[in-house]
Structure formats: C-alpha cells, structure tokens
C-alpha cells in the first residue's frame, strides 16, 4: 500500500512554470462523471466522493486563463507526495491513438481483423471465478455446459478460434499494426471509401499482458535502448518468420467497440468514459487509483517539446501493464508523430496527487 506525505505547491518541482489549462479542461471532462458517482474508489483510499465540490466548481466555470486554472487547483486541493517503496519507484510510459487504413471487408490486402467481444466472453471476479482459473483473470469463457474456463488466447484466436462468428469489425493490412492497436487500446481508421471510424477498448481475453519488447531484450535480440515501439517494429519486419513466435508471447487479446461517429478534435474515449486530452490524460492502475483525480508528474529525464516533463495530469484511463501507485501511461495524442514520442517514453518520475483538504487530513493525519 502506498504512503503519502504532505507537500506544499512551492515544493513541487516545476509546478510554478507549468500551464494548468489543459489539465483543467481534462478535469472538467470528468467532473460530471464524478458527480454521478460513476468512478469507484480504488484501494489507495482516494475517495471519489470527496471531489464533488471541485467538480461542481469546474463545471460552472468558464474558460479560465492559465493563472486562473492554477488558482483553481491551488485553492481547492492539497498536494500529497506518493512515497516510493523499496521495490517500486515512480515510472511513466507513453501511449497514443494509431491512425491506420482499414477495410469493411477482407480481401488479398486487408486480412487481419479487429474483433468485437464474443458472446461467450464473461467478466469474472473473486466470487464468480471458477476454481483453478488464475486469480489475475478478469474474463473467462462460458462453455455450452454453462461452466467457465480460460478464454482463447492470442495464438488460438489468430489461428481461427473465432472464425465464422461474424465478430469482425474491420480488417487491416498489417498484422503488426493490429498488434500495436491492441497495445494502445484504440485507433482511428481511414476506410477505403474515405470515411473515418474509431475503435476503442471493450474487453480482453483475460490472459496477463506480456511485453514483447522486454522478452526480446531478455533474449538478447534487442538492447534496452532499442526496445521502443519503433525498434520492436523494425525487428519484427526484419524477422517475418518469427512474428508468430514473438507476438504470441503476449497471450492477452483485446476486443473493441466500434465508435463510428468521430470528432477529430477529441481524443479517444478512455476507461473513465470521457475523451482523453493529449498530454493531460494518464492511464493508471484501476485497482489502486480512482478516475478523475489530478496528479502532478515530474520526469526530469523526459523532454517533450524541448522542455522537461512537469505537468498536471488527470487519471482517465487504465492499461494491463500499468501496475502500482507510482505508475502512469501518458496519453500523447493521435497519429504517427504522437506514436514516435509515446514509443520513447520510459522514464523515472515523481508523483504528487491533489486531494481536497478533508481527504488529506484522513490520509496524512
């Protein structure tokens, strides 16, 4: 369990120089969901209900200036540092929304489908999980007899386990593109008729996520510095005969919702069911954290737009690899340029969570 320590805003590295306007907009996007009670409180004890008053103020506000946005956070919240443990330090990665070509029908070029959730895929918890199914699994397969078992993994699905069931949303021309869309959890699709569609995360097979970059490093195929997204793509392109072996190491398989109506000005919808804001939204550990909350993240060695990364971010998404109280995935944006930045983000970071004063008294008496 994480421990918190009181901080002043003056003690937060980079707070005074940061522009809090984007974070205010992102917080306001979550505000109505906070007021509805839509966000469960994670095991860190950051109670969503404590944020009702700031959420109401944000919804009633106009478009604040940078200084007014900073005043909003400074007058309604207390900063608490999240202390590192002996085994877990702060760390950030990046993710983005790929933009790829797609087809509504398969042909010789477009052969790799993205799937919607099958009807035999069911959520499980500690009560419904059958004996023998790994406790980390949150999804299972309901067999014809009604019993639950492990769902098909990536290898089984890619070799035909779901064929003939009409689950395909679209087809892509590149299986590696499809794989990385699974990793990112969303995509913008440029269809062959010129229209645009969007897909977003709906469910997964339940198997634990395996980082193929890490496995390539451990096998001596890549150095740690080479194991970013571009390095992994280059390795896969150079070893087509080994793509099955490497991609199937990640047994986790993602299913998608079709989101055909797209507002190009908004990011994809995250797990908190609000559009993500580039460089103001983060994915967090959904078991520990609470959606909608502001975190200030300072990563000294990470530079974006030529400046050290010191930004206020809002927790609005989650991911299979995001585990721990001082772990976050930074949403960078959409398209190849955002992908190039996101693929390089693997940096140590300091985490400060902003909490209302009454919650701060409960967490740090």
Mean pLDDT, residues 207-232 taken together: 93
Q: Which domain holds residue 165?
A: 97-259
Same domain, 179 and 137: yes
Q: What is the pLDDT of residue 262?
A: 65
Reported as a pLDDT band with limits 50, 70 and 90, residue 185 is: very high
Q: How far is Cα 56 from Cα 58, in angstroms, rounded to an integer? A: 5
Q: Is 265 within a domain?
A: no
> What is the Cα Rg of the chain in Å?
21
Domain C-terminal end among 259, 284, 314: 259
Same domain, 275 and 208: no
For residue 315, the domain's CATH number is: 2.40.40.10
Reported as a pLDDT band with limits 50, 70 and 90, residue 261 is: low
Structural domains in the chain (count): 2
Measuring CA to CA, which residue among 211, 207, 317, 205 is closest to residue 256? 205
Same domain, 87 and 101: no
Tell me if 33 sits within 8 A of 272, measured CB to CB: yes
Mean pLDDT, residues 183-201 taken together: 94
Q: Is the pLDDT of residue 45 over 80?
A: yes
Q: Where are the beta strands (DSSP E) in the chain?
A: 4-6, 78-82, 91-97, 99-102, 112-115, 121-123, 139-142, 148-149, 168-172, 186-191, 196-204, 254-259, 281-284, 294-304, 307-318, 327-334, 346-348, 350-355
pLDDT, averaged across the chain: 94
Query: What pTM value is reported for the model?
Result: 0.89
Q: What is the pLDDT of residue 263?
A: 75
Reported as a pLDDT band with limits 50, 70 and 90, residue 87 is: low
Domain C-terminal end among 207, 228, 259: 259
Q: Is the pLDDT of residue 352 over 80?
A: yes
DSSP annotation of 4 reads E
**What are the angstrom distances between the C-alpha of 13 and each of 32, 88, 305, 347?**
30, 21, 18, 16
């Amino acid at each position: 369990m994480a421990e918190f320590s009181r901080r002043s805003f003056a003690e937060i590295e980079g707070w005074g120089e940061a522009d809090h306007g984007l974070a205010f907009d992102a917080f306001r996007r979550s505000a109505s969901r906070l007021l509805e009670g839509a966000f469960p409180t994670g095991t860190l004890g950051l109670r969503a209900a404590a944020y009702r008053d700031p959420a109401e103020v944000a919804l009633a506000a106009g478009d604040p200036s940078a200084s007014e946005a900073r005043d909003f956070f400074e007058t309604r919240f207390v900063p608490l540092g999240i202390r590192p443990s002996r085994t877990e330090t702060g760390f950030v990665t990046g993710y983005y929304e790929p933009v790829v070509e797609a087809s509504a029908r398969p042909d010789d070029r477009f052969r790799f489908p993205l799937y919607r959730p099958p009807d035999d895929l069911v959520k499980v918890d500690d009560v419904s999980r059958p004996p023998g199914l790994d406790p980390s699994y949150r999804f299972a397969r309901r067999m014809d007899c009604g019993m639950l078992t492990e769902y098909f993994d990536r290898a089984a699905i890619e070799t035909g386990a779901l064929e003939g069931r009409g689950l395909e949303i679209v087809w892509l021309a590149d299986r590696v593109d499809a794989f990385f869309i699974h990793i990112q959890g969303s995509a913008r699709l440029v269809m062959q008729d010129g229209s645009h569609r969007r897909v977003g995360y709906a469910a997964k097979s339940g198997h634990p996520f395996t980082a193929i970059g890490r496995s390539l490093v451990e096998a001596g195929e890549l150095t740690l510095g080479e194991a970013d997204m571009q390095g992994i793509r280059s390795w896969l392109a150079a070893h087509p005969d080994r793509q099955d072996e490497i991609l199937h190491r990640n047994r986790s398989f993602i299913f998608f919702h079709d989101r055909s109506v797209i507002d190009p000005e908004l990011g994809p919808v995250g797990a908190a069911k609000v559009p993500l804001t580039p460089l103001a939204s983060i994915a967090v550990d959904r078991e520990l954290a609470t959606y909608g909350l502001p975190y200030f993240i300072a990563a000294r060695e990470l530079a974006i737009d030529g400046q050290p990364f010191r930004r206020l971010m809002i927790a609005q998404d989650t991911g299979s690899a995001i585990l721990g109280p001082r772990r976050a995935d930074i949403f960078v944006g959409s398209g190849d340029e955002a992908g190039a930045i996101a693929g390089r983000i693997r940096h140590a970071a300091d985490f400060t969570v902003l909490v209302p004063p009454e919650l701060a008294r409960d967490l740090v008496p």
